[in-house]
Structure 1
């Protein structure tokens, strides 16, 4: 499977498992799972044929581990869901977890003024996404140009009663990061 096809399938899965399952006639369960056979059938019916081998390859090789697969449902068979990042209503059923002292958030310079005023908000997602290290946050922020990396005093937030959860792929999730818990930095060399 060539890299172009891997990216194309990954984006297609993200779009329909995180944001628009109804466009394929799919209904995610309360926890975001859908039957793999139903997903593959619906994709084919909508002009985007994906084989099970291609799906398995994308799930296994995605460096961000965007998708999770379960083969243990005795009624529905094999299931798939996006690990996080949904704009549709789902409960990922992730238990609260104690975060490391600091987490990081990558963004772009145009967002900094709003973040300084309101803190980090989930925008069109359910939660704010935080990275466990500066390098990952830098890559996330670089998707829209020069990245800005914010350090989040997650330990202090946790002590203040804010709830954190961690997805299967290591992305930390929380409802909101107030301004007082943010440390503004950039990711230019030597910063």
Structure 2
């Protein structure tokens, strides 16, 4: 397996700390998922991941999915979505989704999705993409990609709430099978 680039390693570290396990390094997130940047740098270094403000800014700016965001004053940082921590509320306003959104997954999960629909799993929300290409890239991370079409407008009309994170990812609760169009169907 090829060695990871340093910024990729830091990005994975930030995903762990800012989405799932801040307590791993003794970091505290506020109720909206924000962490104090100075505290993050200090705690990361204390726990074996030396990190400078310059590197942190580089990782945030260079992340192709814009997974992380700084507060307007640059003093705080958070993950844009994907939290498994139930205590975090990103305080996103409900949004009206487009007619169709896309979900990228691996082919090995299709049988389960046909039976139960899409579930957030350990995360707070199901993640959806506005375009097929992004969904394909997401699905490819986990195996042979399959792109599902989600009839988001119909689901929204039934009362389902949708949010759009700062990096453009659409978030919602469980998606029942009847709102999913499978390839070849």
Q: TM-score, normalised by structure 2?
A: 0.95
**Is residue 2:167 matched to residue 1:166?**
no
**Is residue 2:79 matched to residue 1:82?**
yes
Q: Which residue of 2 aligns with 1:135?
A: 133
Stretches of structure 1 that go unaligned for 5 or more consecutive residues are 187-191
Q: Which residue of 2 aligns with 1:60?
A: 61
| CA RMSD, Structure 1 to Structure 2 (Å) | 1.2
Instruction: State the Cα distance separating 1:20 from its structure 2 match.
Output: 0.6
- Distance, in Å, in 2 between the alignment partners of 1:185 and 1:27 is 43
Runs of 4+ off more than 3 Å: none
Q: Deviations over 1:109-129 (max 9, x none)?
A: 121111111110000100000
- Distance, in Å, in 2 between the alignment partners of 1:43 and 1:71 is 22
Instruction: State the Cα distance separating 1:159 from its structure 2 match.
Output: 1.0
Stretches of structure 2 that go unaligned for 5 or more consecutive residues are none
Q: How many residue pairs align between the two structures?
A: 180
Q: Which residue of 2 aligns with 1:6?
A: 7
- Distance, in Å, in 1 between the alignment partners of 2:36 and 2:177 is 40
- Distance, in Å, in 2 between the alignment partners of 1:184 and 1:31 is 35
- Distance, in Å, in 1 between the alignment partners of 2:72 and 2:50 is 22
Q: Which residue of 2 aligns with 1:189?
A: none
Secondary structure at the counterpart of residue 71 of structure 2: strand
Q: Deviations over 1:144-185 (max 9, x none)?
A: 121011000001111111100000000000011110000012
- Distance, in Å, in 2 between the alignment partners of 1:47 and 1:135 is 37
- Distance, in Å, in 2 between the alignment partners of 1:185 and 1:134 is 12
Q: Which residue of 1 aligns with 2:32?
A: 31
Q: Which residue of 1 aligns with 2:145?
A: 147
- Distance, in Å, in 1 between the alignment partners of 2:45 and 2:29 is 18
